Structure 1
Amino acid sequence: MTSIRPLTLAGLLALGLTVTGCAGYREGRGYIIDPQLSQAVSVGTDNKASVEKTLGRPTFTGQFNDNEWYYVSRTTSTYAFRAPKVIRQDVLRIRFDAAGNVTAVDRTGKEQIASIDPYNKTTPTLGRRKSFFEEFFGNIGSVGGVGTGAGGAGAPGQ
């Protein structure tokens, strides 16, 4: 019986190390939004310079309009080798008019995250499907043919 206890102890130790190796963790990314500072930005009184002094440079600006600034913060949780799951997301959007004055301050959360489901890992296309041999031998005779240029009989200047 004394030889079983060291084996049991070694097995429990190995199991414990395996379980702790698969522990989950949380990760925060992006801008850390301070509620007091973000509440300090007000419509009509602030401009781009004052917002930049208060909050700093934005995470990114609008793709089609430089007068929209976005401050994005995201917290994810991951367990072992699984894909990260979004726990919390905060987006602060500040809009400016042409003169650079704040016109709107909007806040959204993780409800704005889009879930995209790929379709069978292939992209459907219109047209007919070709077999392997049609793909492989389909261009024989078309390279350098009449009227195609690149050394063909109908190339200009010959």
Structure 2
Amino acid sequence: MFRRAAYAVLAASLLAATACAPITSYSGFQAIDANPKDVKAGTDTKSTVRTKLGSPSIQSTFDPNVWYYINQTKARVAFRRPQVTARNITAITFNKDSEAVEAVDNFTLKDGKVIAFNGRETPTRGREMTILEQLLGNVGAGGMLPRDDDDGVPGTRPGDNR
């Protein structure tokens, strides 16, 4: 009897421990054959980087000679919001004329900054209607049925008062 209770407690504790295990998800650039950190300045060009790594995650908005390879790892426990546990960004800068690699910069999650967004909203003009005003707003306004004096006149629409 005592053994069965011990096994039941052990099974319940194992089940509870696996329920709280984090679920890990990976997104972004996944290094398979080559790593963006392996690109060497002065020896590689745009074509060799594209051959080794493939297309970049994004290109710079203002300078097409800067490529970014980005990946991140998120972990989520039970019903909580996912938290970013790791982020790697490799910025590769090319020379405009020779298309050779000038610099390779690596950034991690520690290099980023948290920005506090303002949660306030800009008010819109007009007034907000309640649910009853929205539901009963057209009651009594008419216009749903055609008038008797417009029967048979082509081109008339219900509620048209011309």
State the TM-score, normalizing by the size of structure 2.
Answer: 0.60
Aligned residue for 2:150?
Answer: none
| 1:15 CA displacement | 1.9
Q: Does 1:31 align with 2:29?
A: yes
C-alpha change, 1:15 and 1:115, in structure 2 (3 Å) is farther
Aligned residue for 1:83?
Answer: 81
Aligned residues: 143
State the TM-score, normalizing by the size of structure 1.
Answer: 0.62
Pairwise mapping of residues 28-107 of structure 1 onto structure 2 (< 5 A)? 28-32=26-30, 34=35, 36-38=37-39, 40=40, 42=41, 46-62=44-60, 66-96=64-94, 101=99, 102=101, 105-107=104-106
Q: Aligned partners of 1:128 and 1:53: how far apart in 2? A: 58
Q: Deviations over 1:70-98 (max 9, x none)?
A: 21121223323333221211112234566
SS in 1 for 2:87: strand
Question: Unpaired runs of 5+ in structure 1?
Answer: none
CA contact (8 A) 2:87 2:108 kept: yes
Q: Does 1:9 align with 2:10?
A: no
Percent identity at matched positions?
29
| 1:29 CA displacement | 3.0
SS in 2 for 1:133: helix
> Structure 1: which amino acid aligns with 2:12?
A
CA contact (8 A) 1:67 1:100 kept: no
Pairwise mapping of residues 93-132 of structure 1 onto structure 2 (< 5 A)? 93-96=91-94, 101=99, 102=101, 105-110=104-109, 111-112=111-112, 119=119, 125-126=123-124, 127-132=126-131
Aligned residue for 1:134?
Answer: 133
Q: Deviations over 1:79-125 (max 9, x none)?
A: 233332212111122345665725654433224365676949xx664
> Structure 2: which amino acid aligns with 1:52?
R
C-alpha change, 1:25 and 1:130, in structure 2 (3 Å) is closer
